[in-house]
Amino acid sequence: MTEISGKVVAITGASSGIGEATALSLAGQGARVVLGARRAERLEALADRIRQAGGEAAWIATDVRERTDVSGLVALARERYGQLDVLVSNAGIGRISPLDDLRVEDWEEMIDVNFRSVLYGIAAALPVFRAQGRGHFVNIVSTSGLLILPTQAVYAATKNAVRTLSEGLRVEAGDSLRVTVVSPGMTNTEFADSMTPEMRDRIRARAAVAAMSPDAIASAVAFAIGQPAGVDVSDIVVRPTAKG
């Protein structure tokens, strides 16, 4: 993956799970990673771990619900490294529940974190990519958007909104920008932590028998980023072979 070496990659939701695994994978292949998430202490520890292994990392506390925070992540990449080559929009939450529960505040937060934050990332990074004449958006969505299951209607809708947005971005991108959508199946992350106790227990029980390592998704992201200029890997679906 020599195409990865030297690239500057900003990652949201980088403090754990897929974001953390992606940061470690790309830094190990020579990328300079810029880490964003709300938990500053975990970002600092991750950046230290990367540096101790010989990599380069910067971090900034980032609440992706705030446009200024997402802009700050992109700005840090440019201030520290002079460029931004890839934005990985990974931050997401899955406060799943039956629609009859009317958990409207949870719906609103999923819209803000899962969808609106991706728009903020485009608003921050697209002008930078245009000025550079190159750039790559990598948006992490979900297989929940491919097979709609009970309790996941709103979550799946936010992920499919990102899928549609990404395709629209691709058709407007021209020949110098790349757009990749990665759809993970069940992955061993902290995804269930923000759910109601009943839903959390159900998801954790499924994950115990059918979840992938976050490293599998990180490898897919690295594959897309590592392609030669002029090659756009547009859509990757990664599922566990086990069925929960």
Q: Where are the beta strands (DSSP E) in 149-208?
A: 177-184
Rounded to an integer, what distance in angstroms lies between the CA atom of residue 50 and that of residue 103?
39
DSSP category for residue 174: T
Q: Are 56 and 38 in contact (CB under 8 A)?
A: no
CA-based angle 209:213:214, to the nearest 5?
A: 135
Three-state SS at 53: coil
Measured distance CA(171)–CA(188) in Å, rounded = 33
Active site residues: 155
